[in-house]
Amino acid sequence: MDKKEKASAILEKLEELYPTTPIPLNHKNSYELLVAVLLSAQCTDERVNKVTPDLFQLADNPYDMAKQEVEDIKSIIRPCGLSPRKSQAISELSKILINEHEGKVPQSFEALEALPGVGHKTASVVMSQAFGVPAFPVDTHIHRLAYRWGLSTGKNVVRTEKDLKKLFPKEKWNKLHLQIIYFGREYCPARGHEPSKCPICSIHGRKRGMK
């Protein structure tokens, strides 16, 4: 079985297990999604979802957020970690959205990645989930699973993203990255993983010595 055939079999299994894929981060609009994804860096989605109700009660749009003191933002998002940097980024990007984008979240990778605290992965999530543009956000979990399944060399997330985009149909990317995240949480954790009991690793897992 070559990589294309393996990818097809994995996609079939993921479709079977996760026919629907709700976005893990709670949000009501593209701005809230952008902020939530920014907060999720080195933090669990569960913890972000506990923090954002208070944050979005304070401000759920760039105009209101830009008026807040950075210290007030920081005090709310502290449980997410990296709060000094994240609070500053949220404040700054809100002002940029007002000054440069008419208060709207831009619908381009280039404009999103120019915002403070927004990298390629965050931009990819926003483009795919807020605007429906095909993207394949690769976080550390997807990076790990792609290596375990022998779909990528696992050298870095940039390489993994390119490898996965070649293997899977473009129209599947937006849903697929969420399916992989859900699968990783349920069956393929970083620690305590038992390959023999994993619906994918037991069949398609990387063999020892495989490159």
Annotated active-site residue in 86, 139, 163, 175: 139
More confident call, 140 vs 51: 51
Query: What percent of the chain lies above the pLDDT cut of 70?
Result: 98
- Span 151-164, average pLDDT: 92
pLDDT average, residue stretch 122-131: 97
Residue 169 identity: P
Q: Which amino acid is at 57?
A: Q
Domain of 196 in residue numbering reads as 3-21+136-204
Burial class (CB in 10 A: 0-12, 13-18, 19+), 187: middle
72 catalytic, yes or no? no
Per-residue confidence band for 140, with pLDDT thresholds at 50, 70 and 90: confident
The whole-model pTM stands at: 0.90
Active-site residue, 139 included? yes
Q: Which of 3, 50, 54, 121 is catalytic?
A: 121
Terminal CA-CA length for the chain: 15
pLDDT at residue 25 above 70? Answer: yes
**Within a domain: 211:** no
Q: Residue 210 falls within a domain, yes or no?
A: no
Same domain, 147 and 124: no
Higher pLDDT, 211 or 145: 145
Residue ending a domain, among 129, 160, 182, is 129
Give the whole-angstrom CA distance, residue 134 versus residue 199: 27
pLDDT in tens, 52-63: 999 999 999 999
The residue written with tokens 């699973």 in the block is 145
- φ/ψ (deg, to 5) at 138: -115, 110
Spatial neighbors of 166 by CB under 8 A, at least 6 apart, are none
10's CB contacts (< 8 A; 6+ apart) are 149, 151, 200, 204
- Number of structural domains (the chain) is 2
> Do both 16 and 93 map to the same domain?
no
Residue 81 half-sphere exposure toward CB, CA atoms < 13 A: 7
Confirm whether 11 is domain-assigned: yes
